[in-house]
Structure 1
Amino acid sequence: MKTRRYKALAAFAIALLSASATQATIIDDWNTIKVPPAPALKPVSVNTSDTALLLLDFNGAQDPTKGPCNTKNKPRCIASLPKVEKLMNEARKSGVPVIYSITGGATKGDIASVLAPKAGDAIVQAGANKFINTDLEKILSEKHIKTIIVAGTASEGAVLNTAAYAALKGMNVILPVDGMSSTDPYAEQYVAWHFANAPGVSAKTTLTTIDEIKF
């Protein structure tokens, strides 16, 4: 009886070892994974009374040493500036507040000149999540903001962390895919996928384009 039991246990152990030895990780399967279908983009009508536009880390355009949005490291950010400028101008015309973030070591003068802040515009300075160790949440609360439009760089940094945090706190997020940028398009792709699919985030997010945002 004991012999049979030992043999059964040994066979089970061998099976477990065999399974663990052959189980593939995501890294092993990396090159075999197919890209999922692109998420649908939707038009958005903005409620201007409770919406704010967040322009995240567009500093560095004039001097690459002063931030991530520069021709050397993130030319895709520079390429996005005309579209983001249009978005900013339309937000201002409609009375939607514009709130900026900058990275450490930068000043408001380092923000791309076409997106230069005006007197009274709030500016926070932080790492990837602009809510951490800043007054951003207080600023939004005092303005009775329920929805944020988020544009910025890097998509996998400031955009992902700030917008996801806001969504998980219950805010609505409007994310124009042509307003976020990174060094590599893959980062923009996976961020778009994340906001279209991630639990707790996707339900609060509308993926769109700048031209499809109506104030």
Structure 2
Amino acid sequence: MTTAYRLRPSRSGEGSVPLHRSAAIVLAILFVGCTPPPAVATPTPTVPTPQPTIAATPVPATANPAVTVPTIPATVAVEIPVKGAALLVLDITTAVCTPRPPCVTSLPKIAALIKKARDAKVPVIYSETTAAGASILPEVAPQAGEPSIKASSDKFFNTNLDQLLKDRGVENAVVVGSASNGAVLYTTFGLNLRGYTAVVAVDGISANVDWPTNFVQWQLLNEPGFTNADNKPLDKQHVTLSTTDKIAFK
């Protein structure tokens, strides 16, 4: 809407504004009313400065250093006093042994060692895994009165194995079974840890393939804190490596 302004001529003697000044005022008002508001500056978007591309530095391929396989001492013959001896037969079951050809191959030797122990009146103690429906293979099955425990790899864990050994006055325990890198390794270490001396018949232990069994032989002789690196026979509270035909109960 446009506002109309009328200029009234001044009368003589009145304190009116001169005509030329009135016109100036009107023009000023019109100018102010018609002046558009100042434009709002639109911010200029900031464009990120492109970063230089750094090429990845190729890592030179280096050959793995050769690994020297340690020598495992030869097995030794041992004569174990009947008093204080026991034979542990670990996990020779349908679930563990049957699927492993090396274990099946070892069955006759384990059976011969069991007979040797029984003939000498040495206690035989068995273990099984917790696998449902598994059973100890008939070739090495326990006789009446021979105990069997169920556990995972360490047969001392949550079982009464230690008490069974103490009740029989055991000092030296012979170990056979499968897997060599499972029940045999961890239970044998458990024997040493609890003060027992262990003899492992290497032809009576097995795994899926031969390599773990070879490694375990070295590990058994080099257990931290229980080392018998030279395979000294019946080294107290350590492991001795033998074979089923070199073990005698006297």
Q: TM-score range by the shorter chain?
A: 0.7 to 0.9
Amino acid at match of 2:187: T
Matched position secondary structure for 1:133:
coil
Deviation at 1:37, TM superposition (A): 1.5
Q: 1:114 to 1:106 in 2, by over 3 A?
A: farther
Distance 1:79 1:182 in 2: 11
Task: Indicate conservation of the 8 Å contact 2:189/2:223, yes or no.
Answer: no
- 1:214 maps to 2:240: no
Distance 1:83 1:35 in 2: 28
Counterpart residue number, 1:49:
83
Counterpart residue number, 1:100:
126
1:40-79 to structure 2, matched below 5 A, reads 40-60=74-94, 67-70=95-98, 72=99, 74-79=100-105
Q: 1:137 aligns with which of 134, 156, 162?
A: 162
- 1:154 maps to 2:179: yes
Deviation at 1:106, TM superposition (A): 4.8
Larger Rg: 2
- 1:87 maps to 2:113: yes
Task: Indicate conservation of the 8 Å contact 2:156/2:187, yes or no.
Answer: yes
Q: 1:201 aligns with which of 223, 226, 250?
A: 226
Number of matched pairs: 181
> Structure 2: which 5+ runs fail to align?
1-58, 229-237
Task: Indicate conservation of the 8 Å contact 1:59/1:106, yes or no.
Answer: no
Distance 2:73 2:243 in 1: 12
Q: 1:192 aligns with which of 217, 222, 226?
A: 217
Distance 2:165 2:132 in 1: 22
Q: 1:94 to 1:124 in 2, by over 3 A?
A: same
Distance 1:106 1:136 in 2: 21
Name the Cα RMSD after superposition. 1.9
Counterpart residue number, 1:6:
none
Counterpart residue number, 2:4:
none
- Greater helix fraction, Structure 1 or Structure 2: 1
Distance 2:159 2:194 in 1: 16
Runs of 4+ in 1 over 3 A off after TM superposition: none
Q: 2:66 aligns with which of 10, 29, 32?
A: 32
Amino acid at match of 1:183: N
Distance 1:159 1:175 in 2: 8
Task: Indicate conservation of the 8 Å contact 2:91/2:177, yes or no.
Answer: yes
Deviations 1:152-204 (A, max 9, x none): 00000000000011112211000111011000211101110011222333341
Q: 1:120 to 1:106 in 2, by over 3 A?
A: farther
Task: Indicate conservation of the 8 Å contact 1:92/1:98, yes or no.
Answer: yes
